[in-house]
């Protein structure tokens, strides 16, 4: 039996692992298959337009944690869903560099509008620059602030005036707040409206007991359970990237 030796650095301790060569080849081949299937999916899906390519590039050059950006395939899914729904009003929680906002805006009606909320004010210049690269940017209102505070403000405004309800909401801000976001978003939505929630499989941690004490994982599990148990909501989790939950609000919530 041939063994491969691995040296891992874990919790300040170095550990040596011996792995059977066949097991090692199996894992490598699985990773290769996943990589090539992902490449295949990208090559056989509509391409990103030049603006989205430019935003992807500048995000990788300028921003810490560029992995947060939706990216090519998820971006096309968001665009496709939005074009199916044809929303007049979209709300997004968690703008990052504006990539997903521009994808979702592709489905807006002529007179449609998207409001996107981002709490990191250091991102404001980059977001405004990115949104201005596309004519769709004119339909997007960027709000710099905490998602829950802004949702409260939108709720107060909705009670005071006859404000139009949201047709589509994309939840992608603080994972620990997803349950509260759901409670606050539902009264702002029209009956039959749609919610998309990102990262709901959290890299598979959602079913991994090793993450039982991880705050984000615990909060996302609570969110998934809450959505699953709510009879007013129709739902499905797509195993796309980090998990994308699609929710339809069957019954109007007051």
Stretch that binds ligand SAM, among 29-37, 63-71, 105-113, 222-230 (CB under 6 A): 63-71
Determine the size of the site formed for ligand SAM (CB under 6 A): 16
Per-residue CA distances from 18 to 24, 89, 206 (Å): 10, 56, 29
In angstroms, rounded to a whole number, what is the distance separating the alpha carbons of residues 5 and 238? 37
Residue facing ligand SAM at closest CB distance: 94
Q: Count the alpha carbons within 13 Å of 134 in the hemisphere toward its beta carbon.
A: 24
Binding status of residue 69 toward ligand SAM by CB under 6 A: yes
Binding status of residue 172 toward ligand SAM by CB under 6 A: yes
Q: How far is the CB of 7 from ligand SAM (least distance, A)?
A: 33
Stretch that binds ligand SAM, among 80-88, 118-126, 224-232, 234-242 (CB under 6 A): 118-126
Nearest to 78 by CA among 192, 211, 171, 151: 171
Binding status of residue 173 toward ligand SAM by CB under 6 A: yes
Per DSSP, the three-state class of 235 is strand
233-238 and 13-20: which strand pairing?
unpaired
In angstroms, rounded to a whole number, what is the distance separating the alpha carbons of residues 1 and 76? 47
Q: How far is the CB of 34 from ligand SAM (least distance, A)?
A: 21
Stretch that binds ligand SAM, among 5-13, 81-89, 157-165, 171-179 (CB under 6 A): 171-179
Gap between the terminal Cα atoms of the chain: 66
13-20 and 89-93: which strand pairing?
unpaired
Binder among 120, 132, 163, 251 for ligand SAM (CB under 6 A): 120
Residues that bind ligand SAM in the complex, under the rule CB under 6 A: 68-70, 94, 96, 99-100, 117-120, 146-147, 172-174
């Amino acid at each position: 039996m041939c063994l491969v030796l691995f040296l891992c650095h874990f919790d300040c301790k170095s550990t040596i692992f011996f792995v059977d060569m066949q097991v090692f080849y199996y894992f490598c081949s699985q990773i290769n298959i996943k990589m090539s299937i992902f490449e295949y999916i990208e090559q056989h899906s509509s391409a990103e337009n030049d603006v989205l390519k430019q935003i992807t590039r500048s995000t990788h050059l300028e921003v810490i944690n560029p992995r947060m950006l939706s990216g090519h395939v998820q971006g096309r899914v968001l665009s496709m869903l939005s074009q199916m729904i044809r929303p007049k009003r979209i709300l997004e929680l968690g703008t990052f560099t504006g990539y997903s906002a521009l994808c979702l805006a592709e489905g807006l009606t002529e007179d449609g509008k998207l409001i996107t909320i981002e709490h990191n004010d250091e991102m404001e210049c980059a977001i405004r620059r990115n949104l201005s690269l596309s004519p769709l940017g004119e339909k997007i209102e960027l709000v710099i602030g905490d998602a829950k505070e802004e949702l409260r403000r939108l709720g107060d405004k909705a009670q005071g005036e006859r404000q139009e309800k949201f047709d589509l909401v994309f939840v992608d801000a603080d994972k620990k707040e997803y349950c509260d976001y759901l409670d606050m978003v539902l009264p702002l939505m029209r009956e039959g409206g749609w919610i998309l929630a990102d990262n709901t499989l959290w890299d598979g941690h959602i079913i991994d007991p090793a993450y039982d004490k991880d705050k984000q994982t615990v909060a996302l599990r609570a969110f998934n359970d809450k959505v699953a148990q709510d009879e007013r909501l129709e739902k499905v989790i797509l195993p796309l990237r980090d998990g994308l939950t699609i929710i339809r609000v069957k019954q109007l919530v007051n």
